[in-house]
Amino acid sequence: MKQQVQVKIIGTQKDAQGEENVIELVTEGTFFKKNGKYYVIYEETELSGMEGSTTTLKIDGEDRVNIRRFGSAKADMIFEKGKTYSTGYETPYGLVEMNITTHRISVSVKEDVPEIFLKIQYRIKVMGSEDTMNILDISIS
């Protein structure tokens, strides 16, 4: 059964010089469970810089999260503790190749409410530039 939820995302990015950038997004989304996995779908806004894109969070247990974007920005990012995944991020300006290494991941799901809390700490290495440390704090209720 699909349910309407509020999605709050706080993204923190820290570069090699220690400079920090924080973006917060609050939007409406849809939550459902399918084949033992949890899904949240929401529309990106101008604030995120990906207006015209739809994002799907797929929560696969306590140690794996997949974020897929379709539309003006396209990406398929996998977060799994201790693993590195290579992916492309397609923007209106071209394709960006990057590696994502997940250092920590925390998933808490209360299915009956629904209420989900995700915290993902990861490093992104974009080809040709310095890597950044990132933290995603996502709450869904």
Whole-number pLDDT of residue 72: 79
Mean pLDDT of all residues belonging to the chain: 91
Please say if the pLDDT value at position 127 is more than 90: no
Half-sphere exposure of residue 122, counting CA atoms within 13 Å on the CB side?
Answer: 28
Range(s) of the domain holding residue 87: 3-140
Please count the residues of the chain: 141
Widest Cα–Cα separation across the chain: 46
Measured distance CA(32)–CA(15) in Å, rounded: 35
Q: What is the pTM of this model?
A: 0.90
User: Using an 8 Å Cβ cutoff, are 51 and 42 in contact?
Assistant: no
Check residue 27 and give its pLDDT.
93
CATH code assigned at 59: 2.40.128.20
Q: How many helices (H) and strands (E) does the chain have?
A: 0, 10
- Specify the pLDDT at position 47: 63
- When divided into structural domains, the chain yields a total of 1
Please tell me whether residue 113 adopts helix, strand or coil conformation: coil
pLDDT tens digits for range 49-104 = 667 789 999 999 889 999 999 987 789 999 999 999 999 988 778 898 999 999 99
